[in-house]
Structure 1
Amino acid sequence: MEILQEILLGLCRLFLHPLTYIAILVTYFIGLARVKRERKHFRIRVFDFIYELRFLFWPGLALGLLLSIITITVGVVVPIGMIVLIGVLTFILSGPWTFRWLTPSSIIGLAVIVSLFLPKEAGNNTFTRWMREAGETNLSSLAILLALLVLAEGYLIWRYGSRATSPEIFKSKRGLPVGSHISQRLWLVPLFLLIPSEGFSAPFSWWPLLNINGQEFYFFFVPFSIGFFQRMKAMHPKQSVEFTGKRVLGLGIVTAVLAIPASFFPVFTVFIVLVAIIGREWISISQRLEDARLPFFFTQRKNGSIVLGVLPKSPADAMGIKVGEVIIRVNGEDIAGEQDFYQALQKNRALCKLEVLDLNNEIRLVQRALYDGEHHELGILFVEDHETSVG
């Protein structure tokens, strides 16, 4: 009964951690920056400015509760000093110029490296005590924590990173307008950790699996921020982001396997950290190099117009038009640009008939009655020479 009470108290402690509220503010500003960018390119926002907040808690909270079964069973012990160090590093990397490094590999990895150089002697004040605690953190616990968070990062990118990406238009080296998509997310993944302090002792002889030397502890549902940023110019956003997610999942599996010997040889954690940092950076760099090498995906075409974006709750959204599809015929007329699309649309304002080349290179027919008050150009974003390109 005592352990259940401690778990409930640990759950409530989530709201005592400053990072919970910092993550909300960062996500809010991410949404504002996205809306400003979309209005600059299209003179209209695609999604409302609080859209990113919908992804902040739900998927990460569910995943964190699932992974907490492992952290509680194994007994991942992290002192308050290390929690503070991880929080400081997270805050520093949450800025707009460092956001792409807001990953478990960077945050936990840097925390481990910094802790190796912290003084082991404590003074009389809270700050020096935290420094000592961070420097004496069980490296085996950090290895397990790193592996779980990298796995969580890979899953979140693969499963949620490609949802509602933001379109933009820029000029190519040849001066032609091309489109791209940006995925920028912040997920909060809270995990139950054991915090050494006055609390309660282990109620079972076999638990926790990691040796805690009989010390007392309490539970803390600690929030961890996982950021993701990726720009896609040469691949469909869903394909590109999911590929990155699978790569990060692979890195998570590697770190999880390496964390097993680290349970017996804590110093092995330093090697795991280097693998995680180098591996995650290689994934990011290789994605950018590959994206720069391949031809642009969202470009103007001679036959048809590629869909760069679809406004939510618009006629196009109701018709099932997807990003990356090509509209080749409108009301029986071939089109080769937004102007052709608009002119063909005027032929029948009561009923719109489209022939669409989908992502499987198959043509499908869609039609829908149009009503007064609906977007007069269906709510489709095209790649065009002028700033306003809503069709």
Structure 2
Amino acid sequence: MEWLIELGKGIGKFFLDPLLYFGVLYAIYLGYIRVKRERSNFHVRVQDGWFEARTYLSKGLLLGFVLSIVIFAVGFIIPLAFVLTVSAVTVLFALILKPSVLSPAYTLGVSFFLVMAIYLFQVNVPIFQESFNHIDSAVIPGVALLTGFLLLAEGILISRNAKQHTSPKLIRSKRGLNVGIHETKRLWMVPLLFLVPADALSLPFDFWPIVPVGDQSFTLLFIPYWIGFANQIRSLHPSHSLQIHGKKVFLLGILVSIVGAVGFWVELASIVGVSIAILGRLLISIRQYVRDNGQTYYFSKNQPGIVILDILPGTPADKMELKIGEVIKTVNGVHVQTEQEYYEALQLNRAYCKLEVIDDNGENRFVNRALYEGEHHELGIITFGMENQWKKDVS
């Protein structure tokens, strides 16, 4: 019964945590700036403005549940001072308005070293000093392992969710031409259940699940932890690029988890594990940026036709199962190379449409479908005809 009461309190504290609602506002902001940019570039938005908020509230729930079970089964206890520090660092990083800095490697890593500095230099923390007084070691065992676990979660979310519904964007190339890229900005809420001592906030070295014994007091704290991600994809298909990115983050999470587990016995391993997380996550982002800048743009293919930059959900193009990155070669039997030719060819038959497209493997395929009154007159394709763009730029 006592466990059920404490669990209920923990869930109650979850809904009282300002981070939960601050995250909703942050996700709404991400949706607002995306829709504003898409309308500026293409006069239409792809996903509605609430897409990021729905993603924030739903896509991290299962992972949070699984991680909470694992954390509880491992049995390590997180000091309340560290939880408060992570929350403060998360809010400060959120003010930068760049979701990429909200990776667990950065929020947990910075919090880890910040708590170490507060302990070693005896820094006074207003309001929350009592929580910091109960820390009995500069190195908190379990933080590196927790960072590794959350990097695993980030890798999964990037591979499975961030690659879905990326946003098209127009930028200027080094030659001054408009080129198409894809961008993704996500914020996921991963609810985590921690066992936090309510009186003596020291960390025991017994890793098995802890139950209340005698006069021992504890708190089950449910927190809405954030995982943020942002990426621009230029040289690869968006889905393929983010699959690679997510795999690298996942592998980094495995490495950090292994090193972090050793930290329960060797304090230096915890420091090494968190350092690997920060430097490794930074290196993954830098390598991806350098690779993209050194290669040609994926949506500037040198072949005749109209490159499909994106597809509006629920439109004829979506129902015809056209894919991002495919090239429209002919429309109703007419070869097209510019957006104007594409639109004119569509008007040749307003009741039926037949397209010849070139897929990612360079193979031709034909798709066709009857068109009905009220459906999108341009099939719902966001096109990117390079020849047409060049004509616009030089006119």
Distance 1:387 1:266, change over 3 A: farther
Which residue of 2 is the match for residue 154 of structure 1?
155
Taking the aligned partners of 1:124 and 1:305, their CA distance within structure 2 comes to: 60
Shift of 1:317: 1.1
The answer to whether structure 1 residue 366 and structure 2 residue 371 are counterparts is no
Point out where structure 1 has 5 or more consecutive residues left out of the alignment: 200-204
SS in 2 for 1:352: strand
- Contact 2:145–2:258 (Cα < 8 Å) also in 1: no
Which residue of 2 is the match for residue 270 of structure 1?
271
Which residue of 2 is the match for residue 92 of structure 1?
92
Shift of 1:75: 1.8
Distance 1:77 1:213, change over 3 A: farther
Shift of 1:78: 1.7
Taking the aligned partners of 2:135 and 2:360, their CA distance within structure 1 comes to: 51
CA deviation profile, 1:18-56 (whole Å, cap 9, x unmatched): 111111110000000000110110111111110112211
Shift of 1:125: 6.6
1:1-391 pair list within 5 angstroms: 1-119=1-119, 126-133=127-134, 136=137, 139-197=140-198, 207-208=208-209, 215-299=216-300, 301-384=302-385, 385=389
Taking the aligned partners of 1:122 and 1:304, their CA distance within structure 2 comes to: 64
- Contact 2:75–2:209 (Cα < 8 Å) also in 1: yes
Cα RMSD for the two superposed structures: 2.6
Shift of 1:229: 0.4
Query: Comparing 173-182 with 259-268, which one deviates more in the overlay?
Result: 259-268
> Residue 338 of structure 1 aligns to which amino acid in structure 2?
E
Shift of 1:2: 2.8
CA deviation profile, 1:202-234 (whole Å, cap 9, x unmatched): xxx984379x99842121112211100000111
- Contact 1:259–1:272 (Cα < 8 Å) also in 2: yes
- Contact 1:331–1:352 (Cα < 8 Å) also in 2: yes
> Residue 293 of structure 1 aligns to which amino acid in structure 2?
G
Distance 1:73 1:25, change over 3 A: same
CA deviation profile, 1:340-381 (whole Å, cap 9, x unmatched): 211111111110111122223332221111122221111111
- Contact 1:192–1:222 (Cα < 8 Å) also in 2: yes
Distance 1:160 1:79, change over 3 A: same
Shift of 1:386: 8.6
Taking the aligned partners of 1:247 and 1:63, their CA distance within structure 2 comes to: 18
> Residue 65 of structure 1 aligns to which amino acid in structure 2?
F
Taking the aligned partners of 2:208 and 2:31, their CA distance within structure 1 comes to: 44
Taking the aligned partners of 1:304 and 1:90, their CA distance within structure 2 comes to: 46
Distance 1:125 1:304, change over 3 A: closer
TM-score, normalization: structure 2?
Answer: 0.90
Taking the aligned partners of 1:54 and 1:76, their CA distance within structure 2 comes to: 32
> Residue 378 of structure 1 aligns to which amino acid in structure 2?
L
Taking the aligned partners of 2:168 and 2:132, their CA distance within structure 1 comes to: 44
CA deviation profile, 1:300-358 (whole Å, cap 9, x unmatched): 64421110011111111121111111111111111112112111111111101111222
- Contact 2:142–2:270 (Cα < 8 Å) also in 1: no
CA deviation profile, 1:273-316 (whole Å, cap 9, x unmatched): 11100000000000000001111111264421110011111111
SS in 2 for 1:297: coil
Taking the aligned partners of 2:236 and 2:229, their CA distance within structure 1 comes to: 17
Query: Comparing 77-86 with 212-221, which one deviates more in the overlay?
Result: 212-221
TM-score, normalization: structure 1?
Answer: 0.91
- Contact 1:46–1:166 (Cα < 8 Å) also in 2: yes
Taking the aligned partners of 2:12 and 2:362, their CA distance within structure 1 comes to: 51
> Residue 72 of structure 1 aligns to which amino acid in structure 2?
F
Aligned length: 382
Shift of 1:138: 6.2
> Residue 63 of structure 1 aligns to which amino acid in structure 2?
L
- Contact 1:35–1:45 (Cα < 8 Å) also in 2: yes
Query: Comparing 219-228 with 96-105, which one deviates more in the overlay?
Result: 96-105
Shift of 1:186: 0.4
Taking the aligned partners of 1:387 and 1:63, their CA distance within structure 2 comes to: 49
Distance 1:123 1:179, change over 3 A: closer
Distance 1:373 1:124, change over 3 A: closer
Distance 1:135 1:157, change over 3 A: farther
Taking the aligned partners of 2:310 and 2:136, their CA distance within structure 1 comes to: 49
Taking the aligned partners of 1:262 and 1:213, their CA distance within structure 2 comes to: 29
Taking the aligned partners of 1:213 and 1:358, their CA distance within structure 2 comes to: 68
Taking the aligned partners of 1:172 and 1:206, their CA distance within structure 2 comes to: 54
Taking the aligned partners of 2:210 and 2:232, their CA distance within structure 1 comes to: 42
Taking the aligned partners of 2:352 and 2:73, their CA distance within structure 1 comes to: 61
Query: Comparing 257-266 with 354-363, which one deviates more in the overlay?
Result: 354-363
> Residue 14 of structure 1 aligns to which amino acid in structure 2?
F
Identity percentage of aligned residues: 38
